């Protein structure tokens, strides 16, 4: 945000810049729902803030969808359906890569748990040579 430090302009410009700074801090703090307050801006400043809100709406949509996918997967796993993964085909680019990575992590953890449970089962059946 240091780009804005040396900028001079009208009070309308300053209002827009301050609002953009506030949004940057909100986003950095994890508030993906933050949007510019259009009530304090007029003219070109308001037009810019509307464009910023549209940008934020577009830019945050995949992150929100990924979070929802993780939440759904977690809920299904808690119910016992451990085969549920994040649908990678719903995402593009870096978000698809993140979904694939989360799925890979979950899949490897499940494989380890299944292996441990197979060992416990074998022990319960008297096979104390079962690998862990």
Q: What is the pLDDT of residues 20-50, one digit of tens each?
A: 999 999 999 999 999 999 998 999 999 999 9
Nearest CA among 73, 108, 75, 110 for reference residue 88: 73
- The set of residues, in sequence order, having a beta carbon less than 8 Å from that of 1 and lying 6+ positions away, is 20, 21, 24
Q: In the block, which residue shows the tokens 């016992």?
A: 80
Confidence of residue 132 (pLDDT cuts 50, 70, 90): confident
In a domain, 89, yes or no: no
pTM to 2 decimal places = 0.76
Q: Based on the structure, what is the number of domains in the chain?
A: 1
The residue-averaged pLDDT of 98-122 equals 94
| Average of per-residue pLDDT across 4-18 | 72
Domain that holds residue 50: 1-61
Residue 129 lies in a domain: no
Residue 1: band (very low, low, confident or very high) from pLDDT cuts 50, 70, 90: very low
Q: What is the pLDDT of residue 3?
A: 47
pLDDT of 70 reads 97
Mean pLDDT, rounded, for 53-60: 97
Q: Does a structural domain hold residue 19?
A: yes
Contact of 86 with 69, CB cutoff 8 Å = yes
Tokens at 47, concatenated: 């037009």
């Amino acid at each position: 945000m240091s780009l804005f430090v040396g900028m001079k302009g009208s009070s309308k410009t300053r209002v827009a810049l301050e609002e953009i700074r506030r949004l940057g801090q909100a986003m950095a703090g994890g508030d993906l729902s933050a949007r510019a307050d259009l009530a304090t801006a007029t003219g070109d400043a308001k037009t810019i803030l509307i464009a910023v809100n549209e940008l934020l709406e577009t830019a945050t949509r995949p992150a929100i969808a990924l979070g929802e996918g993780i939440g759904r997967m977690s809920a299904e796993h808690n119910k016992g359906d451990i085969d549920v993964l994040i649908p990678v085909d719903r995402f593009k680019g870096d978000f698809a890569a993140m979904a694939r990575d989360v799925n890979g992590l979950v899949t490897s953890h499940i494989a380890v748990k299944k292996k441990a449970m197979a060992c416990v089962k074998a022990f319960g059946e008297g096979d104390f040579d079962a690998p862990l």
